[in-house]
Structure 1
Amino acid sequence: MENILSQQQNQYIDHSKMEVIFNNINRPVTLKFENVVYKINLAKEGCFKNSPKSNEEKIILKGVSGIVSPGEMLAILGPSGSGKTTLLTGLGGRLVNGHLKGVIMYNNKTFTNAMNRNTGFVTQDDVLYPHLTVSETLVFTALLRLPKTFTVEEKTTHADAIMSQLGLTKCKDIIVGGPFLRGISGGERKRVSIGQEMLINPSLLFLDEPTSGLDSTTALRIVSTLRDLAKGGRTVVLTIHQPSSRLFYMFKKVLLLSEGNPLYFGRGEDAMEYFSGIGFSPLVAMNPSDFLLDLSNGILSDDPRVLVDTPIEDPASIKKTLVTAFKTNLVENMKEQLQESDVHQVAEKLHEKKFTQWSNTWWQQFSVLFRRGMKERKHESFSSLKVGEVLVVAFLCGLLWWKSNNIQDQVGLMFFYTDFWSFFPLLQAIFTFPQERMMLEKERSSGMYRLSAYFMARTIGDLPMELVLPTIFTVITYWMTGLKPSALNFFSTLFSILYNVLVSQGLGLALGAMIMDQESATVLGSVIILSFTLAGGYFVQHVPWFISWIKYISISQYTYKLLLGSQYSHGETYSCGMNATCLVEDFPTIKTIGLGGKGISMVALAVMFFGYRFLAYVALMRVGVTKK
């Protein structure tokens, strides 16, 4: 009985904590923006490659104002290119490039790290890991985003509650999927994206085109869910392209944009009455959003049955008339609303005194990211194609050099080790960060974890496969090719190969992080490794002085020196003719490289090991950085 009571008390405590997360972790936020202007510089190339560039400034937003209070849902409408996403991104504090001017206030305070922590932002594209299940996706997000004051069990319970709230329980054990991997439906994916942001119970929720690509029924469910969230005291702002009439009347407020100009701001149910009052009134029933989008495009109607009370037909003139009407009829009323907000609104503290930059410790972030990465990439790291590729090359190599006791052949084998295990890990590592750029931008901009925790988890998570495959390769080829059968020689060779793998991997990580384009990084990486190979001391033994500097930064040369040192030593001889022996160090290829200086080679490779990873880390610092 005591155990049962204890369990009931624990359940009560857990439930009460969940209620705290849902209802009290954040405070309501009033979003106010006034005269928001956004400009970007467009650099134009001349006709010739070396001609000077001319800078042209483009204005994306042209003085947009508005206010959204807790419990309200604001829909930003407009055709493509009208500035909807730009405005949403600016309001969410996520614009990095360009020049943003105007006043954007959150409870009469500017955007801060504390505000960022209490803001949810759902992008138009659902950036999710395809091989994780719905449950794993939300649980890992909860472990990263919820405060460390909650236990793992409480965070998991909260993720389960979110799945239940969004109707995801039936698909919780199904993988998310992607373009080429079957998983959950598009509507379920969108709800998972919303669920990730709802885990922190945000005071302010931004959504970019949440109904894009969804059928009308699924879109209705999504918007209904958002309306219920708003009724719970949250402030919801979303962009939407062309909602149905059922969706349109769910919006508490509507902001209509055309080429960055506001054409209407007010209650959704009053929009048609406003445009009718300024002479733009359809004479037949139609979807209000369709009519508003036609007006924002400067088109009265493609349907001859729909007439408006205005003789204007030119699209530019229509837009100009609507902009003038907005300034004449709505701007003053909007200014009054903003001033009333300044007088009556009490600035919320948003837990600023208790705010810490990170929800969890570095080690907690690292461990969660490491486990998540291993789950997501296990299909890729241990793929049969990759393993089969290495095994085929290993046995082919073993057969070609079968029990070879010729020093020329063995030296060639050492260089093949160097070459193959430079290219293979480099090309694998180049894809690491470009593939995860969107995920990194999304999670970093929300302040989910430290970049150092992500970087360490990502690079260490790849080590098992990076080291297992070359080890298997070495075990197979070493004994098939007849190299020295002592443990010291074998482990020296294995160490040299693994050292080469780690350094080459670091170079690949740096190139991928700096360029962030898989094709360009692959081409550049291939050229660099090819240059290192040519200057490695095997193909060209007498490199001209003006290009010999390459060998000092060549991974291949230092690894080649270590591999030769693992098999040969000073004073050792080999058969060089009829009853004649020669010193190994006098063999032409070995003489060029030399059997000494192994310590220098290890130090040089160590500098490269840390240097390349440092470059990769610095390059990643620019990804996902939010402009405060």
Structure 2
Amino acid sequence: MEQDIEDIESQTKETLQHEEEETPDDILHNRKRPVTLKFDEVVYKIKDKKGGIFKKKTKVEEKTILKGVTGIVKPGEMLAMLGPSGSGKTTLLTALGGRLGGKLYGKITYNEKPFSNTIKRNTGFVTQDDVLYPHLTVTETLVFTALLRLPNTVTKDEKVSHAKNVIDQLGLTKCKDSIVGSAYLRGVSGGERKRVSIGQELLINPSLLFLDEPTSGLDSTTAQRIVSTLWDLARGGRTIVMTIHQPSSRLYYMFHKVLLLAEGNVVYFGKGSEAIEYFSNIGYSPAMAMNPSDFLLDLANGIYTDDMNQDHNIDKQKLISAFKSNSETQSKPEEHQEINDSDTSQGRFQETGSGKWPTSWSQQFFVLLRRDVKERKYESFSGLRIGQVLVVALMSGLLWYKSDMSHLQDQIGLLFFITGFWGFFPLFQAIFTFPQELMMLEKERSSGMYRLSSYFISRMVADLPMELVLPTIFLLITYFMAGLKATMINFFQTLFSLLLNVLVAQGLGLALGAVVLDQKSATTLASVIMLCFLLAGGFYVQNVPKFIAWVKYISISYYTYQLFIGSQYHSGETYPCSSGQCLIEEFPPIKQVGFNMNGQGLAAMALVIMLIGYRLIAYIALMRIGVTKKKA
């Protein structure tokens, strides 16, 4: 094993002499440029706000998460970072992966150079949670990722072939046509899902691979297979860094190096096989044969079991000081400086920069569009959702069955009900879009897969046919059962008004979801806003006080209701009244709204402005998320 690492080190020296861009041929033929990762005196601080609703002042304190962490990982090595929960493992991993903003100090280098777009393109990062689309198959998941992440100099057929090679490499052939699934949808097993996540990163043939808790929630046998796969990848020349909570002894002895953290401090760094000997030399030897990782975690928690099998609390500071004084690998940085925030975080939501996107905007758009349609069709056309629309359509048609001009108030009531129903329904469907996809968006954007604009536009286009089919079916059922004007012009005017209402309500939902990002809070806010819109819509109250009358001018319901009235009734028409026949424009609910051509045009224009405006708000909110994450 050591001879293999020495060979890889010699390759690294040659690579440093020829700093060239990795070519598509390198990716497809499994040739990689080795990377040596060094981190020296890494310190990370966050601002911790203390206070509450009943306190006048909120005290802001600076909390140090990482306290001078130092180490090195070479090509062909697999480093495991151990430590109790809250010890800073994931924070350190995120910092090393170039995905951590904020006050980060020290020095992190990749082949003696700072983080760059070239390093980002050669780095894979597997998060603890498997963020995958549940309805896509294993093959579809990896093929779509390959189409987005591999450069456009590689042909589509080569990308698909490469994805299939990764499936074979990770032993996913038997489940390649199975859907990935989720906690609520049966799919592949947990171990297979984790291998799919790893496979997404292997598609770019990374020189440096980071993994956060890759064995979390897996049984010992499955965990063994995952780590064995990673060990094989390391042996092939990759540099692998992972966090792991409590590995079995079989897993522990597969790690080339171990980094033990306690409250952000390094307690041990070196070969995994030498850890027990190190602690024995400083007075802490295991009292019995036990899993080395259990022993190390006990020490990191400040617990030591003596020969009498009794537990004693020990001062963790002594372990920290002992490591600092005994470590032969420790080196002082030339200067203790803050790592540039833009350097460490440029892998996150970067829209422009020196690095090129792997594919063009149009390629990203069409691939994302295909993926969105495949994934979203199951939700948009779910049996529950279709059943809900059909039941309401039939009930509406039956309750207003063959209503005519003699029941004008009833007809207007139906039009306003349609306005309200198709205001709430798409609104609450759209609210969950971005909160549910936030983790996926962060994961894919941080790896530089696509532009935010291509994602957003493809999302809007993919939703169009699926969001407009159900209201069209609803109107086809209700319209003719209720006895509304059965002419093509009147029907299509009503349909146009309905679809415009749906798209505007959907846009409002997207904006609220993107701005608030908390599903419960966004739902509550949406309910209040839509109820205010309905109350100001012109049906319930005709004589609105002037100081609150302005609400109708921002109400989706008001403009849609106005278009519905104009699609069914025209000036000069009459309806039966107590005095015989009365002009329809004098009917109080209609008189309040009006249906002249200028009013109709202004109503349609107002809805179009809202349609565009709400989506712009959603897009800007998503851009703001990226900036906030970088500065967090």
The two structures share one fold, judged by TM-score above 0.5 = yes
Distance 1:166 1:471 in 2: 46
Structure 2 residue matching 1:89: 3-state secondary structure: helix
Which aligned pairs between 1:133-148 and structure 2 lie closer than 5 A?
Answer: 133-148=137-152
Query: Given that residues 177 and 183 in structure 1 are in contact (C-alpha distance below 8 angstroms), is that contact kept between their aligned partners in structure 2?
Result: yes
- Whether 1:106 aligns to 2:110 is yes
Distance 1:22 1:197 in 2: 16
- Whether 1:39 aligns to 2:35 is no
Which residue matches 1:325?
A: 322
Offset at residue 548 of structure 1 (A)? 1.5
Which residue matches 2:434?
A: 433
Which residue matches 1:197?
A: 201
Counterpart residue type for residue 382 of structure 1: F
Give CA deviations for 1:156-199 in whole Å, capped at 9, x if unaligned.
11011111111111111111111122221111111111111000
Query: Given that residues 284 and 306 in structure 1 are in contact (C-alpha distance below 8 angstroms), is that contact kept between their aligned partners in structure 2?
Result: no
Counterpart residue type for residue 618 of structure 2: A
Give CA deviations for 1:382-435 in whole Å, capped at 9, x if unaligned.
112111111111111111111112221121122112111101110111111111
Which aligned pairs between 1:284-323 and structure 2 lie closer than 5 A?
Answer: 284-301=288-305, 304-305=308-309, 313-315=312-314, 317=315, 319-323=316-320
Counterpart residue type for residue 325 of structure 2: T
Distance 2:120 2:99 in 1: 9
Higher mean C-alpha deviation, range 70-79 or range 566-575:
566-575
- Structure 1 465/333 Cα, relative in aligned 2: closer, same or farther at 3 Å? closer
Query: Given that residues 479 and 485 in structure 1 are in contact (C-alpha distance below 8 angstroms), is that contact kept between their aligned partners in structure 2?
Result: yes
Structure 1 residue matching 2:305: 3-state secondary structure: coil
Which residue matches 1:4?
A: none
Which aligned pairs between 1:113-262 and structure 2 lie closer than 5 A?
Answer: 113-262=117-266
Offset at residue 611 of structure 1 (A)? 0.6
Distance 2:306 2:360 in 1: 59
Structure 1 residue matching 2:187: 3-state secondary structure: coil
Structure 2 residue matching 1:485: 3-state secondary structure: coil
Distance 1:302 1:486 in 2: 91
Which residue matches 1:72?
A: 77
Query: Given that residues 27 and 204 in structure 2 are in contact (C-alpha distance below 8 angstroms), is that contact kept between their aligned partners in structure 1?
Result: no
- Whether 1:449 aligns to 2:456 is no
Q: Structure 2: give runs of 5+ residues left out of the alignment.
A: 1-22, 336-352
Which residue matches 1:606?
A: 608
- Structure 1 624/219 Cα, relative in aligned 2: closer, same or farther at 3 Å? farther
Query: Given that residues 35 and 207 in structure 2 are in contact (C-alpha distance below 8 angstroms), is that contact kept between their aligned partners in structure 1?
Result: yes
Identify which of 331, 347, 350 aligns with 1:335. Answer: 331
Distance 1:195 1:542 in 2: 64
Distance 1:108 1:465 in 2: 51
Distance 2:167 2:334 in 1: 37
- Structure 1 141/338 Cα, relative in aligned 2: closer, same or farther at 3 Å? farther
Identify which of 28, 34, 38 aligns with 1:28. Answer: 34
Give CA deviations for 1:424-475 in whole Å, capped at 9, x if unaligned.
1101111111111111111111111111111122222122221111111111
Query: Given that residues 204 and 234 in structure 1 are in contact (C-alpha distance below 8 angstroms), is that contact kept between their aligned partners in structure 2?
Result: yes
- Whether 1:564 aligns to 2:569 is no
Identify which of 52, 56, 59 aligns with 1:51. Answer: 56
Which residue matches 1:495?
A: 496
Which residue matches 2:18?
A: none
Distance 2:164 2:319 in 1: 48
Structure 2 residue matching 1:177: 3-state secondary structure: coil
Give CA deviations for 1:289-332 in whole Å, capped at 9, x if unaligned.
1111111111002883489xxxxx443x2x011011111111x5
Offset at residue 46 of structure 1 (A)? 3.1
Which residue matches 1:5?
A: none
Distance 2:53 2:457 in 1: 45
Offset at residue 22 of structure 1 (A)? 4.0
Task: State the TM-score, normalized to the length of structure 2.
Answer: 0.89
Query: Given that residues 18 and 154 in structure 1 are in contact (C-alpha distance below 8 angstroms), is that contact kept between their aligned partners in structure 2?
Result: no
Query: Given that residues 22 and 201 in structure 1 are in contact (C-alpha distance below 8 angstroms), is that contact kept between their aligned partners in structure 2?
Result: no
Which residue matches 1:584?
A: 584
- Structure 1 141/485 Cα, relative in aligned 2: closer, same or farther at 3 Å? same
Q: Structure 1: give runs of 5+ residues left out of the alignment.
A: 1-15, 308-312, 340-353
Counterpart residue type for residue 152 of structure 2: K
Distance 2:215 2:279 in 1: 26
Counterpart residue type for residue 206 of structure 1: F
Distance 1:523 1:561 in 2: 27
Higher mean C-alpha deviation, range 189-198 or range 355-364:
355-364
Distance 1:17 1:247 in 2: 34
- Structure 1 20/521 Cα, relative in aligned 2: closer, same or farther at 3 Å? closer
Which residue matches 2:548?
A: 547
Offset at residue 357 of structure 1 (A)? 2.5
Structure 1 residue matching 2:30: 3-state secondary structure: helix
Distance 2:529 2:251 in 1: 55
Query: Given that residues 41 and 333 in structure 2 are in contact (C-alpha distance below 8 angstroms), is that contact kept between their aligned partners in structure 1?
Result: no
Offset at residue 17 of structure 1 (A)? 6.9
Structure 2 residue matching 1:109: 3-state secondary structure: coil
Query: Given that residues 304 and 313 in structure 2 are in contact (C-alpha distance below 8 angstroms), is that contact kept between their aligned partners in structure 1?
Result: no
Distance 2:480 2:117 in 1: 59
Offset at residue 563 of structure 1 (A)? 0.9
Which aligned pairs between 1:3-18 and structure 2 lie closer than 5 A?
Answer: none
Structure 1 residue matching 2:104: 3-state secondary structure: strand
Which residue matches 1:615?
A: 617
Structure 1 residue matching 2:79: 3-state secondary structure: strand
Residue identity over aligned pairs, in percent, reads: 67
Counterpart residue type for residue 243 of structure 2: T
Offset at residue 47 of structure 1 (A)? 5.8
Query: Given that residues 434 and 513 in structure 1 are in contact (C-alpha distance below 8 angstroms), is that contact kept between their aligned partners in structure 2?
Result: yes
Give the root-mean-square deviation of aligned CA atoms.
2.1
Give CA deviations for 1:337-394 in whole Å, capped at 9, x if unaligned.
999xxxxxxxxxxxxxx97431111111111111112212222111121111111111
- Structure 1 336/420 Cα, relative in aligned 2: closer, same or farther at 3 Å? closer
Query: Given that residues 162 and 195 in structure 1 are in contact (C-alpha distance below 8 angstroms), is that contact kept between their aligned partners in structure 2?
Result: yes
Distance 2:538 2:332 in 1: 78
Higher mean C-alpha deviation, range 157-166 or range 543-552:
543-552
Query: Given that residues 34 and 237 in structure 2 are in contact (C-alpha distance below 8 angstroms), is that contact kept between their aligned partners in structure 1?
Result: yes
Offset at residue 76 of structure 1 (A)? 0.6
Give CA deviations for 1:258-277 in whole Å, capped at 9, x if unaligned.
00010111111221121111
Counterpart residue type for residue 112 of structure 1: S
Offset at residue 52 of structure 1 (A)? 2.2
- Structure 1 306/244 Cα, relative in aligned 2: closer, same or farther at 3 Å? farther
Offset at residue 30 of structure 1 (A)? 1.3
Query: Given that residues 286 and 306 in structure 2 are in contact (C-alpha distance below 8 angstroms), is that contact kept between their aligned partners in structure 1?
Result: no
Offset at residue 540 of structure 1 (A)? 0.9
Distance 2:286 2:409 in 1: 88
